[in-house]
């Protein structure tokens, strides 16, 4: 399948091992309560979901949360009171768009980053439509760069 914003072709597939859900990986010394406690502690420290997963993988030898619990890290965080209004991947795109806008304000003639901003905003619009359809964003949510900049600053 071709990638959307490049002239190259990419191979889209998962690199995760094919293991049935709910089976504990070999060599995992932590029990479920300890893993949940680690996840909650890392979330209290302000880590993002990707950072929590990476830290669990590198420091505690927990390969995949979904493999252990049968549910995603997002669900575990939601159950423990760390629900986000805007999903993390959308928040990352919004941050990128705000940083690009700030850069373009200082460098008006930067054509490449103007194109990059258009691409990022196109991704934001497509992703917002997807999340509106699935109920993860309110149906009246709109991408407004000024409002988003205020949300990201706080």
| Whether residues 143 and 92 fall in one domain | yes
| Whether residues 51 and 97 fall in one domain | no
| Whether residues 105 and 67 fall in one domain | no
Query: Is 7 a member of any domain?
Result: no
| Residue-level pLDDT at 1 | 45
Instruction: Spell out the residues 6+ positions from residue 77 whose beta carbon is closer than 8 angstroms to its own.
Output: 39, 43, 49, 83
| Residue-level pLDDT at 59 | 92
Give the pLDDT of the chain (154 residues) as one tens digit per residue. 456 666 667 777 777 777 777 677 777 888 889 999 999 999 999 898 999 999 999 998 888 888 888 888 999 999 998 888 888 899 999 999 999 999 999 999 999 999 999 999 999 999 999 999 999 999 999 999 999 999 888 6
> What single DSSP character describes residue 139?
T
| Whether residues 129 and 98 fall in one domain | yes
Q: Rounded to an integer, what distance in angstroms lies between the CA atom of residue 94 and that of residue 117?
A: 10
Query: Is 6 a member of any domain?
Result: no
What is the number of structural domains in the chain?
Answer: 2
State the residue for tokens 């691409």: 119
Structural domain boundaries, residue 149: 88-153
Query: Is 21 a member of any domain?
Result: no
Q: Which token pair is 45?
A: 């420290």
| Whether residues 69 and 99 fall in one domain | no
| Whether residues 61 and 101 fall in one domain | no
Q: Rounded to an integer, what distance in angstroms lies between the CA atom of residue 76 and that of residue 21?
A: 15
Q: Which of 47, 79, 111 is the last residue of a domain?
A: 79
| Residue-level pLDDT at 112 | 97
| Residue-level pLDDT at 3 | 61
Q: Which token pair is 129?
A: 């439509």
| Whether residues 107 and 124 fall in one domain | yes
| Torsion over CA: 13, 18, 130, 55 (sign) | negative
């Amino acid at each position: 399948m071709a990638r959307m914003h490049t002239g190259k072709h990419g191979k889209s597939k998962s690199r995760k091992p094919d293991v049935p859900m709910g089976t504990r990986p070999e060599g995992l010394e932590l029990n479920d309560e300890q893993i949940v406690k680690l996840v909650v502690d890392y979330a209290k420290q302000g880590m993002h979901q990707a950072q929590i997963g990476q830290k669990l993988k590198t420091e505690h030898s927990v390969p995949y949360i979904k493999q252990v619990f049968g549910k995603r890290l997002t669900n575990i965080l939601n159950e423990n009171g760390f629900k986000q209004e805007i999903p993390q991947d959308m928040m990352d795109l919004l941050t990128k768009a705000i940083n690009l806008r700030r850069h373009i304000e200082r460098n008006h003639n930067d054509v490449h980053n103007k194109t990059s901003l258009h691409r990022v905003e196109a991704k934001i619009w497509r992703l917002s439509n997807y999340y509106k359809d699935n109920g993860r964003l309110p149906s009246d949510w709109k991408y407004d760069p000024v409002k988003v900049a205020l949300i990201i600053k706080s």
